[in-house]
Amino acid sequence: MLTIGTLAKRTGTKVQTIRYYEQISLMPEPERTEGGQRRYRVADLDRLAFIRHARQLGFSLEAIRELLDLSDSPESSCADVDAVAQRQLREVEARIARLNALRVELRRMIAECNSNRVADCRILEVLRDHSECLTDHDSA
């Protein structure tokens, strides 16, 4: 059995985050000692490591919940897991496209700024007037 501190250290997760995952039912309610201390099993360690890795890959908490539910039903179709991963990939690709557009815009602003005076600074001018931007990056 592991304490919450040991679980946190072994997974690189903050204690508060573990408690939050329990609160939102991503992690099961742990067993407790007579003194009320949480005690975790190796299965809890594995589940938390899964959650942490999925978060590092950018999965939302709801997508992780969906993956965990599927994982808890080994007879489920792997196509369902694939669909969650495909959805995440589309979100990542959309984010990359937005970031690439922002990079192009920032490079353009910097390249067009050849003034020595703040009053004539092209970067500040573009930041003041959104219509000067080449891309729509409101959703970025």
pLDDT in tens, 39-59: 999 999 999 999 999 999 999
pTM of the model: 0.75
Core vs surface per residue 123-132: b (16+ CB within 10 A) or e: eeebeeeeee
Do the domain assignments include residue 84?
no
Instruction: Report how many domains make up the chain.
Output: 1
Do the domain assignments include residue 24?
yes
Q: Which residue has the higher pLDDT, 110 or 3?
A: 3
Do the domain assignments include residue 85?
no
Residue 138: pLDDT over 80: no
